[in-house]
Amino acid sequence: MKNQINILFHGLLGSLRDLAPVILVIAFFQLAVVQQPIPDLGGLLAGTALVVVGLTLFVRGLEMGLFPIGEAMAYAFARKGSLMWLLVFAFALGFGTTVAEPALIAVANEAARVASDSRLIAAGDAARHDYALGLRITVALAVGVALVLGMFRILKGWPVQYFIMGGYAGVMVMTLFAPPSIIGIAYDSGGVTTSTITVPLVTALGVGLASSIKGRNPLVDGFGLIAFASLTPMIFVMIYGTLVL
């Protein structure tokens, strides 16, 4: 019990240190540059306390739950020796976690509003809804494909840079053909797909898979899945834009 409290206390201190820079920056700009008093100081402190406690619990939960789940499942798939199931799992995880991702829903709705305002798609809620849903499914497919490719790469031990360079060549080529109004959204869509829960999980899966295969190095072969997942949505969204707009 004493040990638990000790861990928690250290965790809280660590989170406080992680968050101190943001608080300092905001306080500095508010007081020194904009020169306005901080509105609702009590609410600000209460909110900051929530952030600190939340981050502490999250990091503790990562070590206890998310990392072990990801690694255990990667080991189990490797031992089962079924390539097909591993890839189906990778696709389901990528597609499933992305299609319902709140950040992506927000960006897709925003993009639909923009497209509708500039008359790129038909006016009306139905057309806007279809367009936003199409974007979300496109990005989710892209992340699913990225994880399948990424897992396959770990199994084969291929160097990550060839894929990434090839991928960016693809992005550049698509930029030439895609309508200009989709490019900014496409470029940003790579960044919004990787959420706070997906990242640790996918990292643990990659590292777990790489360490359960003989001859793979978890550092060299285990990382790289996130990079794939932030690359493919750019290409897929530009293709979607070219087809739809």
With CB under 8 A as the contact rule, the residue among 175, 213, 244, 245 that binds other proteins is: 175
35 φ/ψ sector (left φ>0, alpha ψ -120 to 50, else beta)? left
With CB under 8 A as the contact rule, the residue among 33, 81, 214, 215 that binds other proteins is: 33
Size of the site for other proteins (CB under 8 A): 107
26 binds other proteins (CB under 8 A): yes
Virtual torsion, Cα 114, 120, 126, 130, nearest 10 deg: -80
Which residues 6+ apart lie within 8 Å of 71 measured at CB?
A: 204, 205, 207, 208, 211
Angle (CA) 94-97-103 rounded to 5° is 120
With CB under 8 A as the contact rule, the residue among 200, 232, 235, 240 that binds other proteins is: 200
69 binds other proteins (CB under 8 A): yes
Enumerate residues 119-138 that contact other proteins by CB under 8 A: none
With CB under 8 A as the contact rule, the residue among 13, 31, 76, 83 that binds other proteins is: 76
Which residue matches tokens 């279809």?
130
55 binds other proteins (CB under 8 A): yes
Enumerate residues 77-106 that contact other proteins by CB under 8 A: 77, 80, 85, 89, 92-93, 96-97, 99-103
CA distance 199 to 212: 20
Q: Name the H helices within 125-179.
A: 125-156, 160-177
Among residues 134 and 170, whose Cβ is nearest to other proteins?
170
31 binds other proteins (CB under 8 A): no
For the CB of residue 124, give the shortest distance to other proteins in the complex, in Å. Answer: 19
25 binds other proteins (CB under 8 A): yes
For the CB of residue 228, give the shortest distance to other proteins in the complex, in Å. Answer: 9
Which residues 6+ apart lie within 8 Å of 146 measured at CB?
A: 94, 225, 228, 229, 231, 232, 233
With CB under 8 A as the contact rule, the residue among 122, 168, 173, 177 that binds other proteins is: 168
DSSP 146: H
